[in-house]
Structure 1
Amino acid sequence: MKKIVNDISKVDPQEYIVTLQDIKHHIQQSQIEAFTAINVALNMRNWMLGKIITEKQRQYAWGSNFIDLLAKDLQNMFPGNQGFSKTNLFRMKAFYAMYNSSTAVELLEKSPILTIPWGHNAIILIKIKNENEALWYAQQSKEHGWSRSALEDHIKKDLYNRQGKAINNFNQTLTQSHALITQQAFKDPYIFDFLTLEDNHIEQDLERGLIGHVEKLLLELGKGFALVARQYHLEVDGDDYYIDLLFYHTKLKCYIVVELKARAFNPRDVGQLNFYLSAVDALVRDKDDNPTIGLLLCKSKKNFTAEYALSGINKPIGVAEYATEIMKKLEQEFENKLPTIAQIEAELEKIEALDILKNKN
């Protein structure tokens, strides 16, 4: 039996640090599990309440006055609990209505909607009408640990319809499994709304602006991008070449060469980027790294022109546009399709009125 050591000076520092980190890990893990369990219980409760309210209104032809009465009684029964307001009860109805297909009900317990905070679900309910899109944002929130403000920002910028949309030749240049995850790592367009640039800006203006806001740049690029260098120097046959931005992607396990063009796409740009990829593969890439990938960011492009330019190229390249503000057309279209709480309530009341008429008939 080992002798118990009470003198702190006799405690091995390295062993103590290992022990402390082990305990810290278990505490943090238990906190995450507890937080997740709370989210699951709360979201499941809200889904069930939405189900009960919906079914009782249909069964007894109760209108919105029922929800007014229910909200008051629940708040009296649970004083101090802000979760039973009229607005939140309508959200619970919308929550049940959104995820009430046979598929959603069957997979409800495995769905990401249960593990994210209720506040995240409320934002999705207010701003998204399509179930698949809603589930996608819920999954991304869970996977990337988005805050509520980050979720709102991604929805505002319509990330769902931009993710994986860059023109590319990944299926022809990468293995099938690698091509799939690579495609999802790129988007089109990229929105650098944190920049203020003139319409006639040049590549150097764009590059300086991006580096000056590198944290926001990495957030827009997505999880996994790590900046290696700006104007990365390559020497080939005694000549000097400079890559605009060089990244390493921790998930794809490869270097990513980003070339910036403050003008419309030109097929000749692909040749330049292809050259850089070959040079990085030969001079920089480690034997354990996957093939280097190129991303050409341009002010505008014609899709067929970009597709034809990539045809026959044996290096993986994506071509996407960038915008320095949220595009007005996108913003207007998106704002027009976002329902307010009042609109959600009005729509639910309309549905209730139709149900009452059906029951009378």
Structure 2
Amino acid sequence: MSILTSEYKDWLNELKLRIRSEQAKLSIVVNSALIGFYWELGKMISEKEFVWGSKLIQQIEKDLRADFPELKGFSISNLKYCRRFYTFYKSSIGQQAVDQLQDNKYSITENHPTLQIPWGHNILIFSKAEDQNEAFFYIKETIENGWSRDVLALQIKSKLYSRQGKAVTNFKNTLPNPLSDLAQQTLKDPYVFDFLTFSKPFQEKDIERQLITHITKFLLELGKGFAFVGQQYHLEVGETDYYLDLLFYHTKLKCYVVIELKNTKFIPEYAGKLNFYLSAVDTLVKQDDDKPTIGILLCRDKNNFETEFALRDINKPMGVSEFELTEILPDNLKSNLPSIEEIEEELKKLE
């Protein structure tokens, strides 16, 4: 069936009138107006595709480019994104969005976080997220942290949504509400240090050294609020010297955070030692207006049941998470592997 019917032409004229009425706003790219318009455009396309079929978008693109050559946003790919934007969110914000967008009144409200981030960020989120819960998580984090599109893409790629707040902790038993919930959401499991590369064998000190070398990326993975205090931070307890792997201060939790690195599987003894360090920081470093010091134990592997059991009677707040990093083959093994050229030569022989 041909799309070019009188009904389609009437519908197209109505669409053009809407575009012209908002052209001043769209030309200066007021974000809330632009996102609101894309929502409405996606709604119109989604509804009319049932009438005119899958070729509707191609026809709209052709007609709108002819009338509005100076306006961006009417490419086939972007029209498809508009449709996907509408269909992805319509079950949760559909009626609210319709109410908000009546009479072309676009505004940012707490109920419509999609209007508070740029279109490019929105595309990344609704095209990558598995469901609306995940999408709203990334929207919230983007707004709170001011993420650029590249940082947002990195966080989605590292599956932050499935890692945030998943560390094994004893916070509910050692911290008051709502601080315990806030602290829980601050930790991740696992932490992904894919900006570090190592050849075996390597030790905890090698990891520490690279983390500090890449401190900006390390702080991004830790999350908002972490301020670096020191590496191998010195404490003297009973005339004995002790050195904390990494010491941070969390500006939102208002407390010191001790991070201990173990390039092995978690064992209960690690929790006891970290508990000692937290007591030392609370006594020697913490100020009266600081909240209790929190410990984070980062291991290469752990058994969650064993970890929960080990933390059960610890009286200091701490969490245990795994961490992942990139390992490369040592040079002596690399030399025994065939080169790309040698592999290509063997393939040619097989052909």
So what's the TM-score if we normalise by structure 1? 0.77
Counterpart of 1:3? none
How high is the sequence identity, in percent, across the aligned residues?
Answer: 53
2:220 matched to 1:228? no
Matching of residues 76-155 of structure 1 within 5 Å: 76-103=66-93, 105-106=95-96, 109=109, 110-155=111-156
Quick check: 175-184 or 192-201, which moved more?
192-201
Counterpart of 1:304? 305
Distance 1:175 1:40, change over 3 A: same
Count matched residues: 289
| CA distance in 1 between partners of 2:66 and 2:115 (Å) | 27
Give RMSD over aligned pairs: 1.7
Counterpart of 1:174? 175
Answer yes or no: is the 8 Å Cα contact 2:228–2:248 preserved in 1.
yes
Letter in structure 1 aligned against 2:196: L
User: How many Å apart are 1:202 and its aligned residue?
Assistant: 0.8
Q: Secondary structure at the match of 2:198?
A: coil
2:52 matched to 1:51? no
2:60 matched to 1:70? yes
1:40 aligned to 32, 51, 56, which one?
32
| CA distance in 2 between partners of 1:209 and 1:242 (Å) | 18
Long gaps (5+) in structure 2: 1-27, 101-108, 328-351
User: How many Å apart are 1:64 and its aligned residue?
Assistant: 1.9
Letter in structure 1 aligned against 2:174: T
| CA distance in 1 between partners of 2:159 and 2:284 (Å) | 38
Q: Return the structure number with greater relative CO, CA threshold 8 A, min gap 6.
A: 1
So what's the TM-score if we normalise by structure 2? 0.80
Matching of residues 235-254 of structure 1 within 5 Å: 235-254=236-255
What are the Cα deviations for residues 80-114 of structure 1, in whole angstroms up to 9, with x where unaligned?
32311111111111100011014554377422111
Answer yes or no: is the 8 Å Cα contact 2:93–2:112 preserved in 1.
no
What are the Cα deviations for residues 164-201 of structure 1, in whole angstroms up to 9, with x where unaligned?
11100001100120011101111011111111113432
Q: Secondary structure at the match of 1:146?
A: coil
Letter in structure 2 aligned against 1:91: Y
Distance 1:171 1:278, change over 3 A: same
What are the Cα deviations for residues 33-76 of structure 1, in whole angstroms up to 9, with x where unaligned?
xxx99211111100011111111223xx2112111010111122
2:261 matched to 1:260? yes
Letter in structure 1 aligned against 2:153: E
Q: Secondary structure at the match of 1:294?
A: strand
Answer yes or no: is the 8 Å Cα contact 2:198–2:326 preserved in 1.
no
Counterpart of 1:283? 284
Quick check: 299-308 or 123-132, which moved more?
123-132
Q: Secondary structure at the match of 2:147?
A: coil
Answer yes or no: is the 8 Å Cα contact 1:91–1:125 preserved in 2.
no
Q: Secondary structure at the match of 2:259?
A: strand
| CA distance in 2 between partners of 1:236 and 1:137 (Å) | 43
**After TM superposition, what 4+ stretches of structure 1 lie above 3 angstroms from structure 2?**
102-105
Long gaps (5+) in structure 1: 1-35, 327-361
Answer yes or no: is the 8 Å Cα contact 1:191–1:325 preserved in 2.
no
Letter in structure 2 aligned against 1:163: Q
What are the Cα deviations for residues 186-227 of structure 1, in whole angstroms up to 9, with x where unaligned?
101111111111343211111111111111111110100000
Distance 1:103 1:76, change over 3 A: closer
Answer yes or no: is the 8 Å Cα contact 1:246–1:258 preserved in 2.
yes
